[in-house]
Amino acid sequence: MQRPSSPWFSVLASGAQLPVLRLYCFPYAGAGHTVFQHWRAGLPSDIELALVKLPGRGARFGEPRATSLAELAEALAVEVAQAYADGIPFAFFGHSMGALLAFETARQLARQGLSPAQLLVSARTAPLAHGWRERLANLPQAQFLEIIRGMNGLPQELLDNPEWIELFLPIIRDDFALCEDYCYHPAPLLPCPIQVLAGETDASVPLSLLDGWAQESQAECRTWLFPGGHFYLFEQEAELLALIQRLLLSDPLRQVAN
């Protein structure tokens, strides 16, 4: 089978057989597609991984970074729709910023009559709850760096490396700005189920602000909580991947969702 080719994602297949489903993984602020690369070993060959590659980082480091989430969602929707020419059902997983981007990409696709089989949103308050906390992207560097340290998503040796900070902190800051500049607009409900994933002690994602995700789907919306904070997905990776496998390979989802 010809694998989809696009500068927007890296496809990690397992074996030559036709996958049951393609899972697009949308990265969090500052991250590249490689943060999900090792998931290939933790998921069955029935699931093909398509890791989203955003401009301005990783293999696309020399490209200009996006100026809005809407811009990214529009471009990604075009690429996902083209890849769907092979007829393989697909699902979206996004963590933090990636959850918001996956949601808006799903909305763009819905306008074309296309939908993921499932939308998995991780560590992100419901879109309607956007803007509940103070803006962080414009903080002075020392304060902004302290926020990043407190989220426990990066190794301490990187945060103590001045060269790394000079190179990558602007990317993280720009991604925070993308999310903080996001404007929610009402739109028809998504046809796909939404699975909401979160860390029980994530101070940046109050559990009470997860409920609004149910207002974005005409199908079911379920919430799954894990021990840990904003980056629970590192600490609870085995449990998370087991849940993703159960959700994506359940019998109803072996049908094309569109």
Which residues are annotated as catalytic? Answer: 96
Q: Which amino acid is at 138?
A: N
Q: What's the CA gap between 41 and 143, in Å, rounded?
A: 37
Residue 157's Cβ-count burial label (10 Å; 0-12, 13-18, 19+) is: exposed
Would you say 161 and 172 are in contact if contact means Cβ atoms under 8 Å apart? no
- Based on its alpha-carbon atoms, the radius of gyration of the chain, rounded to whole angstroms, reads 17
**Residue (of 156, 227, 216) closest to 188 by Cα position:** 216
Instruction: Report in angstroms the alpha-carbon separations of 245 from 23, 68, 86, 218.
Output: 10, 32, 22, 23
Q: Which amino acid is at 115?
A: S
Q: What's the CA gap between 123 and 104, in Å, rounded?
A: 16
Instruction: Report in angstroms the alpha-carbon separations of 123 from 13, 31, 56, 205, 209.
Output: 26, 15, 23, 6, 11
**Structural tokens at position 100:** 């918001």
**Residue (of 90, 43, 11, 65) closest to 258 by Cα position:** 90
Q: What's the CA gap between 173 and 30, in Å, rounded?
A: 8
